[in-house]
A and B are shown apart, each in its own frame.
Chain A
């Protein structure tokens, strides 16, 4: 019996390096958890649709790359999802099975980031939310987030590290290859930001009104300009920007759009802006897709570079 016990206990040590069960933990406990689900079900269902959409986009891009096919498949998927939004958040390993097992550290960083995003909304929507309690809850969520190896870290400046926070102009091959999908994804992130600012309202009545207004705006124009900052006027005069800026997307950030939330927890909002940027870079790294061995190699190399830049482990990416 003792030999059997010893064998069982030694098994973990025999697991290949990098393949040991290294998943993110359960979310921090607290009274605020699931508050959006309980008190703002309409908003929650749309946030869930965005979560589903993000994971589905990563799965499609992981398999087929970013191209007009993805644009059609993804936009029709999200439209059908929004016609009857889901009540509960997705389980990524079921929505995006190939992406979550083929790009483990990146998928876990995204899932762990989703936890922080959800903690922010829930802390703000909690019925006992006051400035002090919300700040304390967010500090605790951020501390738990940063303890994990799957926490996204700001890239060093010499590593081409971009500063998150301000509205940033996205010129990318991905946006050109799949413009509708890119707009939808950016609008999804904007829904989280605008909803957070609405939930930070001074009282429950105003909170409800602001949330309803945000939902209305999102439903009317989610694939349009909902998620974009107002473009800066071009240097030479008025009108539409010319040159490379034409057609570029300007995603919203907490810094520019949600001053009340930033005042409550500047560090959490900075981290969430960084996560938005990370999500865009991951999406761009998936452009080659997995059509053939060469495309897969290229995709995996790009994804490893993104993981490295954001301080994530590279083991577990690729190998299909």
Chain B
């Protein structure tokens, strides 16, 4: 009984200190700009993300359709996401993706209908001296079909702009909440991406991008997955953007996505 009380008090103290840290972080959070094309979000259209939260008070919503050609068992489905600039430098977001064959995809570590919520904080702005740095904490809730446990991910993002292009680096660690015997619980991934304006006169209406991603296999002892993607974002309205991308898992298990195509639209409110 006494040990239970001590444990309860410890948890209460931890919650209080986490709350205090959260308040301190929010207070330290200084003022974030409303960019339509250049604010990169994962899977919009490719995996890489820039180290820049969405502007304070801005709300961005996106919807897309993805198709994965896996040879024998292709899958397809829609994805939705919403981002909000909750305070200066802090972005809160939620994303949802549905894929066909949820049972089979669950075994590949691909959920259908799991709600992913995240917070992204811009730690350091890009300056003449160094790159922009941001951290991202996300939770995958088992709200979908054939979902098992709650997963948590932590990512560090960096962006450096050069005269005619920007370079992005993302490193991410994911802890899977509930695994089957052959499944890997801790997964790592690293992404390196580049984006640039194709217009010779410097128009910022279209942005092209490419990325290479390396990530650990969801199966213990499985082959490392190497994936390459290319894509583009094109402004189609004052605050709207169309995006499309294609990619391929160059290495991995036999049922890997040999071709992935994704297209969608986003709007900034």
Q: Give A contacts to B, CB under 8 Å.
A: 1-2, 4-6, 8-16, 19-27, 29, 34, 37-38, 52, 56, 77, 80-81, 86-88, 90-95, 97-98, 101-102, 104, 108, 111, 148-149, 316, 318-320
Contacts and interface: CB of A to CB of B under 8 A. Distances in A.
Given A9-B18, A94-B38, A21 B128 contact: no
A93 B38 contact: yes
B37 A318 contact: no
A97 B132 CA distance: 13
A320 B268 CA distance: 33
A176 B25 CA distance: 49
19 contacts: A8-B135, A9-B21, A9-B24, A11-B121, A12-B89, A19-B130, A21-B88, A21-B121, A21-B122, A22-B89, A25-B32, A26-B34, A91-B37, A92-B33, A93-B38, A97-B161, A97-B162, A104-B125, A316-B125
B21 A10 contact: yes
Interface stretch (B92-100, B197-205, B224-232, B244-252): B197-205
B85 interface: yes
B137 A86 contact: no
Interface residues of B, number: 59
B30 A24 contact: no
B128 A102 contact: yes
Nearest to B160: A101
Interface in B124-175: 124-130, 132, 134-135, 137, 152, 154, 161-163, 166
A136 B204 CA distance: 32
A24 B123 contact: no
A4 B239 CA distance: 36
A21 B38 contact: no
Contacts of A19: 124-125, 127, 130
Nearest to B203: A86
Nearest to B52: A21
A20 B269 contact: no
Given A1-B152, A91-B36, A21 B127 contact: no
Interface string B233-251: 0010011000000000000
Contact of A12 (B57, B123, B127, B161): B123
Given A12-B25, A19-B130, 18 more contacts: A1-B152, A9-B22, A11-B123, A13-B28, A19-B127, A20-B123, A21-B122, A21-B134, A22-B31, A23-B56, A23-B88, A25-B57, A26-B33, A26-B57, A34-B239, A101-B161, A316-B127, A320-B128
Nearest to B89: A21
Contacts of A52: 202-203
Contacts of B162: 97
A5 B137 contact: yes
A8 B137 contact: yes
B29 interface: yes
A87 B58 CA distance: 22
A15 B89 CA distance: 12
Interface in B41-60: 52-53, 55-58
Top 4 A-B residue pairs of the complex, sorted by shortest distance between their CB atoms: A21-B122, A21-B89, A26-B58, A22-B30
A102 B18 CA distance: 36
A20 to B, nearest CB: 5
B75 to A, nearest CB: 32
Interface in B1-48: 14, 17-18, 21-22, 24-25, 28-38
Contacts of A38: 238
Contacts of A11: 121, 123, 135
A34 B33 contact: no
A108 B152 CA distance: 35
B38 to A, nearest CB: 5
B12 to A, nearest CB: 12
B259 to A, nearest CB: 30
B18 A23 contact: no
Contacts of A86: 203, 205
Contacts of B201: 77, 80-81
B21 to A, nearest CB: 4
A2 B197 CA distance: 42
Contacts of B32: 21, 23, 25
Contacts of A23: 31-33, 55-56, 88-89, 122, 125
Given A2-B18, A25-B85, A26-B85, A20 B37 contact: no
Contacts of B132: 21
B123 A97 contact: no
A93 B123 contact: no
Contact of A98 (B85, B163, B202): B163
B194 interface: no
A24 B31 contact: yes
Contacts of B135: 8, 11
B176 interface: no
Nearest to A34: B238
Q: Which of A13, A19, A29, A316 has the most CB of B within 10 A?
A: A19
